[in-house]
Amino acid sequence: MKYMTDANISGLAKELRSKGIDCETVHQMMLKNEDTRIPIKDPQIVKFLSEQNKRITLITMDNLLAEYCKTFEIPCIRIQDLVSDHIKKTDL
């Protein structure tokens, strides 16, 4: 599985790659560069991911983008859900 981070957490992609995980930023995958000054709107991201036939999972903190992914059945990991699940498991 390939992973893609949204622009807000682009630094995570580098860390995941250093751990052997196939992960790129949204800018690298869509624009073939890391220039985050160029905005990529949510509908463009959703369109790109929907064309990938569920081969790429988005990692995001963006609630609206995560909701779009859910609506269009695009694999998505919402960071807040992971943190919440972790806290619930460890605060027993």
pLDDT digits (tens, 9 = 90+) for 5-57: 999 999 999 999 999 999 999 999 999 998 889 999 999 999 999 999 999 99
Give the global pTM.
Answer: 0.93
Residue 22 · residue 2 · CB < 8 Å: yes
Alpha helices in 9-78 (DSSP H): 10-18, 26-31, 42-50, 63-71
pLDDT digits (tens, 9 = 90+) for 54-70: 999 999 999 999 999 99
> Which top CATH class is 2-90?
alpha beta
Domain boundaries, the chain: 2-90
